[in-house]
Amino acid sequence: MNDQIYTGKNLDLLDIELQLLLEAIHLKYGYDFRNYSKAHVKRRILHKFNMSSMENITQMQERLLWDKRYFAELINELSINVTEMFRDPAFYKSFRENVVPVLKTYAFIKVWHAGCATGEEVYSLAILLKEEGLLERAQIYATDFNRNVLEVAKQGIYSNDNFSQYSRNYKSAGGKGEFSDYFTSRYGSVMMDKSLTKKVVFADHNLVTDSVFAEVNLIICRNVMIYFNRELQNKVVGLFYKSLSSSGYLCLGTKESLRFGEHEQLFQAVDPKYRIYKKRII
């Protein structure tokens, strides 16, 4: 493995090269990974580096500056695409119990699913809203900065390898029907029912560099901010606060929290265990 050059004194050189690489990406392409978790960025870039025959990270920087296709490959490496249907089923169960009854009092619901990756959790939310009679009066904006994963989400076609687990997740999440009713399986692939996305708009949006996306009643951004440093987490939570309507809901991942952040007092914990918050009226 060619990361063996980065040992001893060369570790300091690695940090310098990584910083310069991120600066080059920002200056050339406008994507800003400088406030992502250093451990995450280093791990992903070294993984890409180890798959190459390059001698050092500086060579990666030179190539991405001149080769847009290589940059696109690196973006896929740096983006966060770990997801599944009804991930953390207990969260969805809590959502049904604590948030859905309030949403049912609204004539129209606007939802922002930020950092949606390949879309499995967007389809999960659409299924839940459909079962609760809310999908027809909802508008869901599903966003990500990676256009490749957005295209996968739009198509709604996945390998069927994990769908046995997804079915179990669905039941544990309080599913009211049969999970198989929401997709068709053929030739080793699964296609999600197109009716689930008739109220979904998939759009390119970067949480790091872009501004308020829309005024919404609900924001779901789960297991994304764990890859940000504290400064960027505070910035993004501030963005979410500005995007939420009065008494709107914010749902984060189970490893994320508003505690000790700059905006902790702006939210009320609805379910602290499963990171469901409500915007305070101040």
Q: What does each of the 282 residues of the chain score in pLDDT, given as a tens digit?
A: 454 666 665 667 888 999 999 999 999 999 999 999 999 999 999 999 988 889 899 999 999 999 999 999 998 888 878 899 999 999 999 999 999 999 999 999 999 999 999 999 999 999 999 999 999 999 999 999 999 999 999 999 999 999 999 999 999 999 999 999 999 999 889 999 999 999 999 999 999 999 887 899 999 999 999 999 999 999 999 999 999 999 999 999 998 989 877 888 999 999 999 999 999 977
User: What pLDDT, on a 0 to 100 scale, did the predictor assign at position 101?
Assistant: 98
Q: Is residue 184 part of a domain?
A: yes
Residues 143, 177 share a domain: yes
Residue where a domain stops, chosen among 78, 112, 133: 78
Residue where a domain stops, chosen among 18, 45, 78: 78
State the CATH number of the domain containing residue 116.
3.40.50.150
Q: Is residue 44 part of a domain?
A: yes
User: What pLDDT, on a 0 to 100 scale, did the predictor assign at position 4?
Assistant: 63
Residues 42, 19 share a domain: yes
Q: Is residue 102 part of a domain?
A: yes
Residues 98, 40 share a domain: no
Residues 275, 190 share a domain: yes
Q: Is residue 84 part of a domain?
A: no
Q: Is residue 83 part of a domain?
A: no
Residues 269, 130 share a domain: yes
Q: Is residue 260 part of a domain?
A: yes
Whole domain around residue 262: which residue ranges? 89-279
Residues 65, 8 share a domain: yes
State how many domains the chain has.
Answer: 2
What is the CB neighbour count within 10 angstroms for residue 228?
Answer: 22
Q: Is residue 138 part of a domain?
A: yes
Residues 242, 105 share a domain: yes
Residues 48, 171 share a domain: no
User: What pLDDT, on a 0 to 100 scale, did the predictor assign at position 263?
Assistant: 87
Residue where a domain stops, chosen among 28, 44, 78: 78
Residues 235, 178 share a domain: yes
Residues 96, 209 share a domain: yes
Residues 127, 218 share a domain: yes
Residues 176, 99 share a domain: yes
Record the pTM.
Answer: 0.89
Q: Is residue 179 part of a domain?
A: yes
